[in-house]
Structure 1
Amino acid sequence: MKRSFIFIIFVGLLGVSCTSLFKKGQKQFSSGEYQYAISTFSKVLEKDPDNKEANFYVAESYRLSNRIEKSSAYYEKLVEEDGTFENYYRLGQSYRNQGRSDEALEAFKQAKGLTLEDGNLNELDREIANLQKIDQIEDYWPYIELENFTLLNTPGPDYAPIVNEGFFYFTSSRQATGIYSATGVPYTKLFRTRADGIKVDVQNIQALPEFKNEEGLNQGSIAISPDGNTIIYARGNSTSSKDLPDVHLFASYFRGGGFTQPIWMPLNEDEFWWNSTPAFSPDGSELYFASNRPGGYGGVDLYKATKLANGDFGNPVNLGPQINTSGNELFPRMMSDGKFFFASDGHPGFGKLDLFVAEPSEDGLIIKNLGSKINSVADDFGIYFTRYPQDGFITSNREGGQGDDDIYYFEDKTPKPKVVNVFLNVITKEKKDDGTEAILPQTRVAIYDSANKMTGGDFTNQNGRVRFTLAPDQNFSMIASKSGYFSKSITYDTRGKTPRQEDLIQEVTNITLDTTIVLDALILEKSIVLDNIYYDLDKADIRPDAADELDKLVTILKDNPTISIELSSHTDARATDAYNDALSQRRAESAVAYIVSKGIDAERLVAKGYGKRQLIIANATTEEEHQVNRRTEFKVIEIK
């Protein structure tokens, strides 16, 4: 009996204790003291792990303090007892923010069967579609390497760095006094130190000297105008009930040799709206920032304000549904090439906030996740370039850091391509009357690229040789010229004549190639037979096979713009003189007309039909001998 009485008293005391803890926790939760609420309700759960209300308050406290990834165990308890749309939806978000995609997908599908509201269904469809796109995400910069700035970071938050006029500005909880009750971490302040690109002086970090950091509130996400005369930053979460109830943007201006005391910016508009993460446009005429003001697309959206005549910023405009989602978009960064970088948990990503780029196109903006080289399942945000786009900083609270938000620096480590030198040896020769070839020294050779721009030129030596250095995998043309000879152009292609980059072993590989250009002597009135100029019987039309040969003559005329030629046509001895004269004249004129159609000035051409008056074989009997007589020739008749 005595034992039963003691047990009753203990149970009664336990009930009173739990009631007291509940009231305390609920008051902390209502005041936004989420970390304190978590601590209080965790004590309840130690004694009663299945307590529905305690699990709810812990789960929601983690969610509302941006730590929903820590809430899954509590939402799991809730869906066991109360499988509502809201509980399954929040559970799915918690799984997603841990990178547990399959479990998140299943939770979202469960939630979809528990609601008929269009808004809920649309949000679930977006979440499911985003999860299904994770495998399609590619690295935006394949050779970026990301490193934790361990010498700079502390166990508390360090985030959102920028660089201005040789100084590195960032937000940190070092030197903090007081704890932010929503997250249980120290309040943050603004700091600066010297920097040269991503090289930061970590030995001489000091609190922001331009104006004094305030105590008992968070200050962070600093932005400095391109001219260095305006500082804008986010300020809020004050411990004072007399202060502003939410986070707002404050501005300090350089006046009379120093910066003014920060003042509240009118673009905040309402004291109950959250405004933060400011960034200037490259020319300073616009201010980008994040806000949860009404009229957005859900959560936190990105806005753009324009600089007014008085120096303030106003007329905020929502950046629209291509960038903003029903999730959260923060930390904007506009670049001079029109690319817009930002953080989001609403676009397809790996977990919590990921970094994205919006690229302008003819069809609007194309949104791309920066990929796994930059992003993780944790929060990744606050990109800043010190040398765009090769290096800069981001912030992340991923595993392996110093404890909270950490600053990371990145560098583009794209491997330098191995060098291939293509050396082309050009030999110039002349064709003798007997058909043999001989070295032709002191011949000028000029090389042109595919855009017809001359890339090199020199004379061959006494051995008829000259060497050029060409680029691999390109096509060129060369013109060889010497007084008393027909100039000649040839094409030369280095494509396929060098190893592929992936097959190269040495840093520098030399490839030597050879080619020969043979020139013909340019002699006035010397007839040169054009091979393969054939006509159908009793016709003067240019056949395709004849056109190929005439194209070669077109090239000769283009390479030698100072010459004029006579193009003559000859027949065999058969048929009458009058017939052959008329036929050969028509054929010569047809050939000239074809050459003119290819862009050659008609004044440089003379058509002459000789009929059978200049037979090479006077008494031809075979068809082969007749063919020798049926020929087309040209000769240079003038050199200007």
Structure 2
Amino acid sequence: MKKHFLWIYALVLLAFVGCKSLQEKGNDQFLSGQYQYAINTFTQILSQDSSNLEANQFIAESYRLSNRIEKSEPYYRQLAEKDPSFSSYFFLGQSLKAQQKNEEAIQAFEKAKGYTADDALLARNQREIEAIKLAEGIEDYWPNHVLVNYTELNTLGADFSPVLSEKFLYFTSGRQASAIYPATGTPYLKLFRARADGLKVDVGVIQPLPEFRNEEGLNQGSIAISPDGNTIIYSRGNSTSPKDYPETTLFASYFRGAGFTQPIWMPVNGEENWWNSTPAFSPDGSELYFASNRPGGYGGIDLWKATRLANSDFGNPVNLGSTINTPGNELFPRMTPDGKFFFASDGHPGFGKLDLFVAEKDESGKQLIRNLGKNINSKDDDFGIFFTEYPKAGFISSNREGGVGDDDIYFFEDKTPKPKIVNVLLNVFIKEEKADGSIADLPQTRVVLYGSDNKQQGGDFSNANGRVRFTMAPESDYTIIASKGGYFSKSIPYTTKGKTPDPATLIQDVTNVSLDTTIVLDQLILEKSIVLDNIYYDLDKAEIRPDAAFELDKLVKILADNPSIRIELSSHTDSRSSDAYNLNLSQRRAQSAVDYMVSKGIAADRLVAKGYGESQLIIKDAKTEEEHQVNRRTEFKVIEIRE
């Protein structure tokens, strides 16, 4: 029995020593950034003691620091239950948010409030709560953009950050790797390229970057190529060699006649322990944007900008500010020619981890941040946007569910349905009224079409049938002016509003609608009197009544359409008062009409008021009221045509 007890004691002691050995091994792996190895080691410890809080802590942190926080939930939950703290609840909330378990995430963030009095931590925690609530109202920035996995280009490993330059698509990939990156347990990354024309990539011939050799045993990350193609900048890091740079940094290669130089470390990196990555050039190549965790930011990883100097180096980086940067992480910048700034962030309101956003200015010049929406973003990481035809087509990267491998390359296209086109074909028929009252075609008349902006939309001479045809837009207002020597010019308004079918009801891509209108021109004959109908005055009065004003407005229009004519406006009475009275009354009425037209903008020197009283009766022996009305008339005649 004693021997048996000693044997059991020896096993327990051996297990304790082995566990301690695993603890030390896991600590070393974690501190050296070998997070996946640390996860494997501490998982062994948990298999023997599931309540080991230290092991839970290291696994949770390893997942978080290797950008897999969604997998850390059970470990942070264990910490929150057994040893609650602000950090355990806060990171549990972030893990739940990354899985779109939003209600549970809010509960975790609310509990985190009770474990700190630090204003900065409380503000960051509240920002997470508000971001979840704001994400519910996010609308698609491009509602008709469709995202598709580029399955032929992707592998089971990581493929991301494509950049198109000079008919080649450059991207980062884990293919052809010779070693495993200890932090994630995935292959080291290299740079590749393939021939491409826009979204069409020749996936049959994908080669390692030919400009310079990929290095083994470290990660070659996101690449940027200057607009002129002469500068390549990429991120490089995670080497296990103690002689190498301790952090991810930016390297540059320059075209020098015969080829590209060997990559060199860039001064914009700053201190060796600062992390710098995801570079991108401005459209004109004068500025370099990149992500960095250097001091002076707003927390996590921020976006910075450096301006190219006269010697082609880049100056001191400047932080892009608190509108773009948050206490979270901002990466993968992309400036577009119209001044919009696209980037990835997990700090602005989104759907999970990294989402794609755009910073743009409103009418007042204020910069606004907009999430690109659910047709572009997912609950997983979405990043690395590049446009092949801005803003209609391009690429993004994502590790969303349903992909080919780890990070995948996706392409997007604008699939906005082509609008149904409706053409309005207006036939304008120009006619004249003959002396006998008949209507005849009037060829060789100049007809001009103006839009609502008073700009000419078309013009032509009427053909032998007096017709001119214009193509017009639906639901629009126009003015048509017809003019011909020896005739009064005439302008008429014309609208196509309500005269065409609803495009939503159409089947064909193009529908032509034919409409007709007629313009009748009157001959312009000097000294020929033209009666103005319906010009009435109250008994013994000369004031212009509203119904008379309506008719006089027509004469105002004629004068406006024919600026070269000068007219006499005459008033005539019947014979039922004395000659002197009728002459005075008719003069006052004629002058009243002229004054009205002057008030409407007609120059006074183009108008002559003349009262004829009863001196020009049409029916000299008028007896009925109708006959007297014929004699009581207002006329005008052209007395001069000015050059």
Same fold (TM over 0.5): yes
Aligned mates of 2:183, 2:406 — CA distance in 1: 15
- The alignment's TM-score, normalised by the length of structure 1, stands at 0.94
Matched-pair contact (CA < 8 Å) for 2:179–2:217: yes
- The alignment's TM-score, normalised by the length of structure 2, stands at 0.93
Instruction: Say which SS state the counterpart of residue 549 (structure 1) adopts.
Output: helix
Q: Show the counterpart of 1:476.
A: 478
Aligned mates of 1:367, 1:628 — CA distance in 2: 75
Aligned mates of 1:321, 1:475 — CA distance in 2: 48
Aligned mates of 1:288, 1:594 — CA distance in 2: 69
- Cα deviation per residue 1:3-30 (whole Å; 9 max; x = unaligned)? 7665555444433332222222122112
The residue type paired with residue 32 of structure 1 is: G
Q: Show the counterpart of 1:504.
A: 506
Distance 1:115 1:535, change over 3 A: farther
Matched-pair contact (CA < 8 Å) for 2:382–2:397: yes
Distance 1:627 1:318, change over 3 A: farther
- Cα deviation per residue 1:88-133 (whole Å; 9 max; x = unaligned)? 1111111111122222222222223433321122112211111112
Aligned mates of 2:593, 2:326 — CA distance in 1: 70
The residue type paired with residue 251 of structure 2 is: F
1:40-79 paired onto structure 2 within 5 Å? 40-79=41-80
Q: Show the counterpart of 2:143.
A: 142
Distance 1:325 1:520, change over 3 A: same
Distance 1:11 1:444, change over 3 A: same
Q: Tell me how large the CA RMSD over aligned residues is.
A: 2.4
- Cα deviation per residue 1:349-387 (whole Å; 9 max; x = unaligned)? 111111111112324212111111211111111111111
Matched-pair contact (CA < 8 Å) for 2:99–2:352: yes
Of 475-484 and 258-267, the range deviating more from structure 2: 475-484
Of 610-619 and 278-287, the range deviating more from structure 2: 610-619
Shift of 1:314: 1.1
Shift of 1:445: 2.9
Indicate which of 468, 489, 492 corresponds to 2:491.
489
- Cα deviation per residue 1:39-65 (whole Å; 9 max; x = unaligned)? 111122223333322222111110011
Q: Show the counterpart of 2:357.
A: 356
Shift of 1:299: 0.7
Aligned mates of 1:541, 1:320 — CA distance in 2: 71
Instruction: Say which SS state the counterpart of residue 205 (structure 1) adopts.
Output: strand
Shift of 1:438: 4.5
Aligned mates of 1:595, 1:201 — CA distance in 2: 75
Instruction: Say which SS state the counterpart of residue 271 (structure 1) adopts.
Output: coil
Shift of 1:447: 2.0
Indicate which of 592, 595, 599 corresponds to 2:594.
592
Identity of aligned residues (%): 70
Shift of 1:618: 4.8
Shift of 1:623: 6.5
Q: Show the counterpart of 2:391.
A: 389
Matched-pair contact (CA < 8 Å) for 2:420–2:504: no
Matched length: 640
Distance 1:550 1:23, change over 3 A: same
Shift of 1:81: 1.7
Aligned mates of 1:5, 1:577 — CA distance in 2: 151
Shift of 1:518: 2.2
The residue type paired with residue 199 of structure 1 is: K
Shift of 1:70: 1.1
Indicate which of 512, 515, 518 corresponds to 1:513.
515
Q: Show the counterpart of 1:315.
A: 316
- Cα deviation per residue 1:268-290 (whole Å; 9 max; x = unaligned)? 11111111111111111111111
Indicate which of 586, 608, 612 corresponds to 1:610.
612
The residue type paired with residue 411 of structure 1 is: E
Aligned mates of 1:626, 1:291 — CA distance in 2: 97
The residue type paired with residue 198 of structure 1 is: L
- Cα deviation per residue 1:522-548 (whole Å; 9 max; x = unaligned)? 232222222343456666554544433
Aligned mates of 2:107, 2:494 — CA distance in 1: 62
Q: Show the counterpart of 1:240.
A: 241
Q: Show the counterpart of 1:36.
A: 37
Q: Show the counterpart of 1:204.
A: 205
Distance 1:5 1:548, change over 3 A: farther
1:51-200 paired onto structure 2 within 5 Å? 51-200=52-201
- Cα deviation per residue 1:305-340 (whole Å; 9 max; x = unaligned)? 111122110121111111111111111111111111
1:405-444 paired onto structure 2 within 5 Å? 405-432=407-434, 437-444=439-446
Distance 1:600 1:212, change over 3 A: same
Instruction: Say which SS state the counterpart of residue 136 (structure 1) adopts.
Output: coil
Instruction: Say which SS state the counterpart of residue 219 (structure 1) adopts.
Output: strand
- Cα deviation per residue 1:58-77 (whole Å; 9 max; x = unaligned)? 11110011110111122222
The residue type paired with residue 357 of structure 2 is: F
Shift of 1:595: 2.9
The residue type paired with residue 165 of structure 1 is: E
Indicate which of 399, 402, 408 corresponds to 2:401.
399
The residue type paired with residue 366 of structure 2 is: G
1:624-639 paired onto structure 2 within 5 Å? 628-639=630-641
Instruction: Say which SS state the counterpart of residue 201 (structure 1) adopts.
Output: strand
Aligned mates of 1:456, 1:125 — CA distance in 2: 61
Unaligned runs of 5+ residues in structure 1 are none
Distance 1:501 1:295, change over 3 A: same
Shift of 1:449: 2.0
Q: Show the counterpart of 2:302.
A: 301
Distance 1:638 1:45, change over 3 A: same
The residue type paired with residue 220 of structure 1 is: G
Aligned mates of 1:309, 1:459 — CA distance in 2: 61
Aligned mates of 1:118, 1:64 — CA distance in 2: 24
Of 20-29 and 31-40, the range deviating more from structure 2: 20-29
Q: Show the counterpart of 2:555.
A: 553
Of 299-308 and 39-48, the range deviating more from structure 2: 39-48
Distance 1:50 1:478, change over 3 A: same
Q: Show the counterpart of 2:268.
A: 267
Q: Show the counterpart of 2:218.
A: 217
